[in-house]
Chain A
Amino acid sequence: MDLNVMSRRRVFGLCGAVLAAAVGVAGCGGSGSTSGSGSSGSGAASATATATKLDIVGFSVIKSAYDALGAAFAGTPGGAGTTFKASYGASGAQSRAVIAGQKADVVAFSLQPDLDNVVKAGLVDPSWNAGPAKGVASRSVVVIAVRAGNPKGIKGWADLVRPGVGIVTADPGTSGSAKWNLLAAYGQALGATKDVAAAKTYLAGFVKNVVSWNESGRTATDAFVKGTGDVLISYENEAIAARAAGVGLDYVVPDTTVLIENPAAVTKSAPARAKDFLAFVESVDGQKILGSKGFRPVDDTVTISGVKGATDPANPFPKVANLITVDSLGGWKAVNALLFDTGKGLVPQLRA
């Protein structure tokens, strides 16, 4: 009986210790976080630096870019003392999250409609894109990523609808990347003659070959990297980032593809520092940092070279022969209605 009592006491003590430890860990963490997520930087803190925290809500593939941008900004005199808290995920989902209450000072989405919805919800000033950059913070193009060595010999869009080619993409319901991808697939099939029938046929073949619809651009890349499918349709910067991180894949920049423009804006409730940060992102220095992460510069006069992960680091952003823009297809409202709106959109119909 004594042994029982002793071991009981010991167990009780152990339980108590575990609980106490848990409470201790929970309690002993004051807020005191002086550096933000990975983008820490006290840098050249001037005597008048004021500590400001900025909340960034961004789409899935820009994390490493914004980490670098944040660190660089905090190193500038105007940005000293800035810390960042960030959340990254599928563009559409992030947009809805912000509308549903997620705190944000700077929002960076994959495509403009996601930002428009936030404007409509009254969280961003409607004049967000009145500036010279028109609110575009980064650019890219849609590319076709293949396994290292291109074993299936993919040369362009036509090869994607061959039987036996498994396409990995994101899901347009949640992801901005997916919308760019499908827009590119449809748009390039329109051709110079704007042959709608041919485009619809192509899109049908494309959707048929999709093996995996993923939640975001990033999870699509993950699925592809882990062995799903034969090709990944994604941003050029995502393919570059993957290669820079050592992932074994190659990418094809098709002759005809879509120009991706990612908007970013500051919310109404953001501190003044947020505007400075956004200005930094859109400045030449910011563009150079984005370029090093694989994004094409918004300002055409800025040349980027030495991009780790690009097929040719010295000439990372080859000119695309036929660059389609959303505007040339009627703008996002028309594109959404044509391709993505539930019920009438081509893609939901093809997937039903």
Chain B
Amino acid sequence: MAFSGRLGAGPALGLGLGVLWLSLVVGLPIAAVVVTAAGGGAAGFADAVTSREALGTIELSVGAALAATVVNMVVGTLVAWVLVRDSFWGKRLLEVVIDVPFALPTIVAGLVLISLYGPQGPFGVNLVGTRQGVFLALLFVTLPFVVRSVQPVLMDMERDVEEAAASLGASGVTTFRRIVLPVIAPAVLSGAALAFARALGEYGSVILISGNLVGRTEVSSAYVLKQIEAGDQAGAAAVATVLLAVAIVVLVLLDVVQRQVARRG
């Protein structure tokens, strides 16, 4: 892995262009959110973020995202395991189906969920306006992250250590806990970080089934949208900034984890 080192004139120009582009497209917009949020002053910011409704949405979004991430960390790892280590008829189909939440437009996912788990659903279960409905929607959209993160690591793992443990009498659980888990842990965490960030900001798939009940099922993204449409730019920006801060924390976590993996590998 060699690097060309310092930049020559050509690459420097390219870098300048790249930086300009990223500033226009990412840097400036994000900065505008933070600055607008601060525009109301510290008191204004605190007011906007601690109003009963805003706090409720932040609490719901963070809580539901966390819950969905934790569940999908466990089940995602399980699914990855089954995909890599097991073989059965239909496995190839399962493999493809897992990518659906990645590629399906969020509003379509929302429509799908409400058709199935809403008032006209075939199961007679109505999750509209419930926190379970919100949780379910977030489970849907975050499913592939941990699976796709863990899969390559599992695939690359050599089995001989596990087989050695097995031959020495270790149960499957112990083998998993002491041999496999340490190897896949960074991948599980990095997938979980991506899943959490995605779930935190999710809008399209949640908005239909949530019913937008204030204090119960209103998610932060819906609140931000409502405030910007109500002309309350500072208030919307304030809550958006809080979401942004949480997302950045997640990114930093991801960076640290990835560096740990690099050090180990």
**Are A226 and B128 in touch, CB under 8 angstroms?**
yes
Tell me whether A173 is interfacial, beta carbon within 8 Å: yes
Tell me whether A212 is interfacial, beta carbon within 8 Å: yes
Known: A90-B229, A92-B229, A174-B226. A228 touches B119 (CB 8 A): no
Pick the contact of A174 from B51, B53, B128, B230 — CB < 8 Å?
A: B230
B41 to nearest A CB, angstroms? 14
Tell me whether B126 is interfacial, beta carbon within 8 Å: yes
- With a cutoff of 8 Å between Cβ atoms, the chain A residues found around residue B226 in the complex are 171, 173-174, 215
Comparing B2-10, B64-72, B167-175, B208-216, the segment that makes contact with chain A is B208-216
Pick the contact of B51 from A212, A214, A352 — CB < 8 Å?
A: A352
- With a cutoff of 8 Å between Cβ atoms, the chain B residues found around residue A228 in the complex are 128-129, 211-213
- With a cutoff of 8 Å between Cβ atoms, the chain A residues found around residue B229 in the complex are 90, 92-93, 96, 173-174, 215
Interface size on A, residues (CB 8 A): 21
B34 to nearest A CB, angstroms? 21
- With a cutoff of 8 Å between Cβ atoms, the chain A residues found around residue B225 in the complex are 215
User: Which residues of chain B in 230-252 are interfacial with respect to chain A, using CB atoms and an 8 Å cutoff?
Assistant: 230-232
Tell me whether A351 is interfacial, beta carbon within 8 Å: yes
- With a cutoff of 8 Å between Cβ atoms, the chain B residues found around residue A210 in the complex are 214
Pick the contact of B114 from A93, A96, A211, A226 — CB < 8 Å?
A: A226
Q: Is the interface of B mostly helix, strand, loop or mixed?
A: loop
**Which A residue sits closest to B51, measured CB to CB?**
A352
User: Which residues of chain A in 215-235 are interfacial with respect to chain B, using CB atoms and an 8 Å cutoff?
Assistant: 215, 219, 223, 226-228
**Are A96 and B231 in touch, CB under 8 angstroms?**
yes
- With a cutoff of 8 Å between Cβ atoms, the chain A residues found around residue B227 in the complex are 173
- With a cutoff of 8 Å between Cβ atoms, the chain B residues found around residue A223 in the complex are 129, 211-212
**Are A226 and B52 in touch, CB under 8 angstroms?**
no
In which size bucket is the chain B interface? 20 to 34
**Which A residue sits closest to B215, measured CB to CB?**
A211
**Are A351 and B232 in touch, CB under 8 angstroms?**
no
Pick the contact of A92 from B118, B129, B213, B230 — CB < 8 Å?
A: B230
- With a cutoff of 8 Å between Cβ atoms, the chain B residues found around residue A211 in the complex are 213-214, 216
- With a cutoff of 8 Å between Cβ atoms, the chain A residues found around residue B126 in the complex are 227
CA distance A215 to B212 in the complex (A): 9
- With a cutoff of 8 Å between Cβ atoms, the chain B residues found around residue A109 in the complex are none
- With a cutoff of 8 Å between Cβ atoms, the chain A residues found around residue B216 in the complex are 211
Interface centre among B119, B126, B229 (most CB of A within 10 A): B229
B40 to nearest A CB, angstroms? 11
CA distance A226 to B129 in the complex (A): 9
Pick the contact of A173 from B114, B118, B214, B230 — CB < 8 Å?
A: B230
Tell me whether A213 is interfacial, beta carbon within 8 Å: yes
**Which A residue sits closest to B227, measured CB to CB?**
A173
CA distance A171 to B231 in the complex (A): 13
**Which A residue sits closest to B214, measured CB to CB?**
A213
**Are A212 and B230 in touch, CB under 8 angstroms?**
no
Q: Which residues of B contact A (CB under 8 A)?
A: 51-53, 114, 118-119, 126, 128-129, 211-214, 216, 225-227, 229-232
Q: List 6 A-B contacts (CB under 8 A).
A: A173-B227, A173-B229, A173-B231, A212-B211, A212-B212, A228-B212
Q: Which residues of A contact B (CB under 8 A)?
A: 90, 92-93, 96, 171, 173-174, 210-215, 219, 223, 226-228, 342, 351-352
8 other contacts beyond A211-B216, A215-B225, with CB at 8 A cut-off?
Answer: A173-B226, A211-B213, A211-B214, A212-B129, A212-B212, A223-B211, A226-B119, A351-B52
